[in-house]
Amino acid sequence: MAKKKSQASYYLDFVADQPLVAENVYRDAQRISTPLPSFAEARDKLPEPMWEGHDAAIEAYWRVWELAFGNIRHPQPLTGFVCNFIDTAFNDCLFLWDTCFILMFTRYGNRAFHFQQTLDNLYAAQRDDGFITRERQEWDGQARFHPHDPVSTGPNVFAWAEWEYFQQTADHDRLARIFPVLLAYHRWMRTHRSWPSGAYWSCGLACGMDNQPRLPENYDVHVEHGHMCWIDATAQAAFSADLLQRMAQVLGREDEVSDLREENEQLTSWINDVAWDEVSGFYYDVRREGSISGFQSIAGFWPLLAGQASAEQAARLVEHLEDEKTFNRYHRVPSMSASDSDYEPTGAYWRGSVWPPTTYMILRGLTRYGYDDLAHAIARNHHDNVMAVYNETGTVWENYAPEKAAPGQPAKRDFVGWGGLGPVAVLFEYIFGLRPDVSENRLVWDVRLTEGHGVKRYPFGTEGVLDLYCPGRQNPNERPEIDVQTNIPLEVELIWSGGRETISVSP
């Protein structure tokens, strides 16, 4: 008679069948600690914005970078951290959620410091089964939580952060290194964070929105999943599956991701058949018994970014973003609907505050569906409010009040941190309208400002450096007479309210 295997033996066999984890080059990497650049040393390597009549915005831009370079750290010996990194600036831990959004703006500064490598310190701690912690202690390298603690990891936004970096740099070498790491992590999430329906669950701390009142009564909103299907966690899984497929196509590894194609189709059906409410035109969490929660959270906009919404559903979501009773408040976009009885005008963390990462998520989702006018309007509103608070306090904040130009209550000051998103990424991408896709050798320049504006030393790929300037115009319908100085050939897709054309530029 064959000897019965123990549970431990089955687990060891399972781990041995994880070739993706075996490809993780970060787990065996040696600690590298090189001198840290100061802001003064880095400044001439950073892109330099110009905007006529907006000196304070330029000042805030540089202040953000000064704070960012002040948060760069050496890896401590014997921690398993493998390289220098930018600290989250929240506690003495490196956070998954925060870091991914910090990199959305620091990727513009990678010529001065390789900010993207910050994630390598999380990848280096990947377990044999694919798990990656959401919070790694900087003093000893330990994961803050046991893997099967509901708060141990998430949200699943690694692939998004890496794909944005790839579009900025076309760094195929990094894409090849991180692909097996992220695929193994995605499959761990699917195994341990999904229900039989395929939909995913999370909790307040794991989804990043700590205290939002999403759960039924008698559950702890911070640490329990409430037996719900969570719309943001499910849409993020679908988005991760989509991006990993795109990575596989670039790398010639399409035959390894057939499960992701099937999962993406399954999640798309669930998101639209179960989590969508046609009456209110919104996506919701789904209760244990199968009913929608009815709670309108900013989480309901993640299907826009993931591309799961139909054109008609996207239009309904846009109505909410335009509705002054729900999400179109003095400072757009609050983290939950202002019509909810639990909404707090001061923000109360995730009970109304405007958060840079979720605002950026909204903007990216609107771009995906072609709502460029609305994206610019929300970006301008956000940037104006961030600047009003900056002018009053001299710094940027973790989050902002939705009903006036003020920091949220509570909120950390000098938070860079994702506080840098508005003065840098939103400024470049949605105020100036510069959105790169280096893999296609194309720069979109959606010119909406009538004041003169531009960027010196704009990074494009690993080698490209652009000097961009658009002189002032009398009105938005006037064709912009842009000036592009470049050291590499590329195409600029010029867009303005009166037209669109593609321009080929060369050194």
| pLDDT tens, residue by residue, 271-286 | 999 999 999 999 999 9
Residue 317 covered by a domain: no
92: Cα separation from own chain's centroid = 21
- Is 152 domain-assigned? no
- Per-residue model confidence (pLDDT) at position 19: 79
Q: What whole-number distance in Å separates Cα of residue 443 and Cα of residue 435?
A: 6
Last residue of a domain, one of 289, 309, 329: 309
Q: Is the pLDDT of residue 233 over 80?
A: yes
Dihedral sign for Cα 221, 225, 229, 234, please.
positive
Question: End of a domain among 276, 309, 342?
Answer: 309
The contacts of residue 196 (CB under 8 Å, 6+ apart) are none
Q: Is the pLDDT of residue 145 over 80?
A: yes
Task: With respect to residue 222, please indicate whether it lies within any of the assigned structural domains.
Answer: yes
Domain of 272: which CATH number?
1.50.10.10
Please check whether residue 105 lies inside any domain of the structure. no
Final residue in a domain of this structure, among 309, 329, 364: 309
Average pLDDT over residues 41-51: 98
Question: For the CA atoms of the chain, what is the radius of gyration?
Answer: 22
pLDDT > 60? residue 350: yes
240 belongs to a structural domain: yes
User: CA-CA distance, 476 to 456, in Å (whole number)?
Assistant: 23
Mind listing the pLDDT tens digit for each residue in 254-275?
999 999 999 999 999 999 999 9
Q: Would you say residue 133 lies in a domain?
A: no
- Does 117 score more than 60 pLDDT? yes
What's the pLDDT at 33? 83
Domain presence at residue 23: no
Task: Give the up-direction half-sphere exposure of residue 272: CA atoms within 13 A in the CB hemisphere.
Answer: 16
The per-residue pLDDT for 146 is 95
Task: Encode burial over 356-391: b for 16+ CB neighbours within 10 A, e otherwise.
Answer: bbbbbbbbbbbbebebbebbbbbbbbbbebbbbbbe
364-386 pLDDT, tens digit each: 999 999 999 999 999 999 999 99
Arithmetic mean of pLDDT, 293-309: 98
Closest CA to 169 of 109, 101, 85: 109
Q: Is residue 417 part of a domain?
A: no
What integer is the mean pLDDT of 401-424? 98
Cβ-proximal residues to 302 (8 Å cutoff; 6+ apart), any chain? 231, 232, 235, 236, 239, 283, 361, 365
Kindly state the greatest CA–CA separation across the chain. 88
The string of pLDDT tens digits covering residues 1-38 is: 344 434 333 333 344 447 799 899 999 999 988 999 99
The parent domain of residue 455 ranges over: 432-507
Report the 10 Å Cβ neighbour count for 16. Answer: 10
Q: What is the pTM of this model?
A: 0.95
Say if residue 345's pLDDT is above 60: yes
Retrieve residue 469's tokens. Answer: 């300037």
CB 88 within 8 A of CB 135: no
Count structural domains, the chain: 2
Q: Could you read off the pLDDT of 453-506 as tens digits, one per residue?
A: 999 999 999 999 999 999 999 999 999 999 999 999 999 999 999 899 999 999
Confidence band, pLDDT 50/70/90 cuts, at residue 123: very high
Pairing verdict, β 48-51 and 490-496: unpaired
Please give the mean pLDDT across all residues of the chain: 95
What's the pLDDT at 216? 87
Query: Is 306 within 8 Å of 235 (Cβ atoms)?
Result: yes
pLDDT at position 305, please?
98
